[in-house]
Amino acid sequence: MSYDKDYDIIHEGLSQHVQLETSGDQEALRSLAKRFSVRTFKEGDSLWDLSTNSGQLHFILSGAFAEYLMDGRVSHLLRFYSKNGFAYSEDLILYSARPASYATCLVEARVASIPAGALAEYLMNEELGGKLLTSLIELSMTEYRNTTYEMLQTNGINRIHAAIQQFPDVLDLIPRKELADYLGISRASLFRSLKQIANG
């Protein structure tokens, strides 16, 4: 895929999350899209880890990632990132703090990224920047709300259906133990629910 095509996709992705009111907004957003660099990730590669000290805003061109939250020495599956979605560590981007989570590639991916410093410069110097920052924060909160919705389902089958709705490839990409922990159900309950789903 050509870089021009990548930038068009990045621009389209950005424009889905910010209201473009003028041709100047459009040009500013296109200029921002061209500041992203594209990289390929293999399964198991980190998008960011606990030792990362500089944040980046990532746009997933293809593939999928999982973010894990560290609680002492135990990691818990927190959320998923897939094609045409943004991924970033709030700790790094919003608070300039060391991350409490890490994100790992689940299936080979291509990702467009821009350093937090370049993003901050854009946010400060472009009128559209404030709108974009607000949209990214709202996007992050929406993802947390969606995860909370999954957890509020009354039984294993409903939770699995909600998880699949949010991330259709979840059953293929996440080990059953991690999926059970993510859904807050036992592995036995997970297997029973999957069997019921398979049997219609």
- CATH (one of 3.10.150.10, 2.60.120.10, 1.20.1440.230, 3.20.20.100) for 3-127: 2.60.120.10
C-alpha radius of gyration, the chain, whole number:
18
The full set of domain ranges for the chain reads 3-127
Nearest-angstrom CA–CA distance, 106 and 44: 6
pLDDT at 3: 57
* DSSP string of 1-38, one letter each residue: --HHHHHHHHHHHHHTTS---SHHHHHHHHHHHTT-EE
For residue 57, give the nearest of 33, 32, 93 by alpha carbon: 93
pTM of the shown model: 0.80
Q: Is the pLDDT of residue 144 over 80?
A: no
Tokens read off for 50: 């606990």
pLDDT at 154: 63
For residue 81, give the nearest of 62, 96, 98 by alpha carbon: 62
Tokens read off for 16: 């889905």
Report residue 65's pLDDT band, with 50, 70 and 90 as the boundaries: very high
Q: Which residue has the higher pLDDT, 98 or 141?
A: 98
Q: Is the pLDDT of residue 145 over 90?
A: no
pLDDT at 71: 82
Using CA atoms of 29, 99, 148, 83 in order, give the dihedral in degrees to the nearest 10.
Answer: 40
In a 13 Å sphere around the CA of 129, the CA atoms on its Cβ side amount to 13
